[in-house]
Amino acid sequence: MKIEWYQSDDLILGFCGFKGSLGVYRFFLDRSDEWQFCPAETKLWDRYHQKVYFQGKADLIDFSDVVDRVPLLPAQFPPPLNFHIADPSEPATPNILPGSRVFEKVNASLDKRLTLYIVLEEDKYESAVGNGIFRYFKSAYFDRKDAESSIKKELKSGKFYLYHIRKIHLIISDKELLLDINGCDLSPFDHFTRQQICDDLVKRII
């Protein structure tokens, strides 16, 4: 398997597969005890991927330049789970459970599938000179016009943010409330969770 190696100060990054499509190894020189592995599509993987391939904030190196300063890589790939850095678990919320107002609204919709419009917020300064492009969850609405109105209010505040609307769906499957993003026009920079959406939606259910 091909690994492309980069260095940024004391951070060594090994991108596995084409542009890290299979994950990325990381090691901090003189600070780490062993390699750590960021699986593809995790938040840290996203940050390092943008750092290298979108911002050019690391230098391409030959692994032989640092091989004497790092431990051996795990013998198998993907490495065992004890090497993985997983995204933190989503906080528990009662708003996704059967009987909650959000759950029952989705359950009562046609085919138990409810269309939503979520607003994502992007810090323009961070995107230009920071750690990368990150569009974080701001709010969720049942109607696109309400989402557009919320953006207009935010823009009037004079904050240095960009706002994006994404159409997604909530569904009920096997008595569980789930996100359905199949066919949705999402960006790899978009970050939101089912819990965030449901906790915000409950405020809009009378």
The string of pLDDT tens digits covering residues 123-160 is 888 787 777 788 999 999 999 999 999 998 887 766 78
Given this model, what pLDDT does residue 158 score? 63
DSSP secondary-structure letter at 80?
P
What's the full length of the chain, in residues? 206
Note whether 100 and 11 are same-domain residues: no
Given this model, what pLDDT does residue 157 score? 66
Contact 166/144 with Cβ under 8 angstroms? no
Q: How many C-beta atoms lie closer than 10 Å to residue 50's C-beta?
A: 19
Write the pLDDT tens digit of every residue in 62-118.
Answer: 999 999 999 999 999 999 999 999 888 777 899 999 999 999 999 999 999 999 999
- Structural domain for 191, as ranges: 94-204
Note whether 76 and 105 are same-domain residues: no
Note whether 76 and 99 are same-domain residues: no
Note whether 143 and 172 are same-domain residues: yes
Long-range contacts (CB closer than 8 Å, 24 or more residues apart) made by 29-35? 29/66, 29/69, 29/70, 30/69, 33/71, 34/71, 34/83, 35/70, 35/71, 35/73, 35/74, 35/79, 35/83
Question: Where does a domain end: 33, 55, 83?
Answer: 83
- When the pLDDT of each residue in the chain is averaged and rounded to a whole number, the result is 92
Write the pLDDT tens digit of every residue in 7-18.
Answer: 999 999 999 999
pTM for the model stands at 0.69
Contact 195/205 with Cβ under 8 angstroms? no
Note whether 101 and 69 are same-domain residues: no
Domain count, the chain: 2
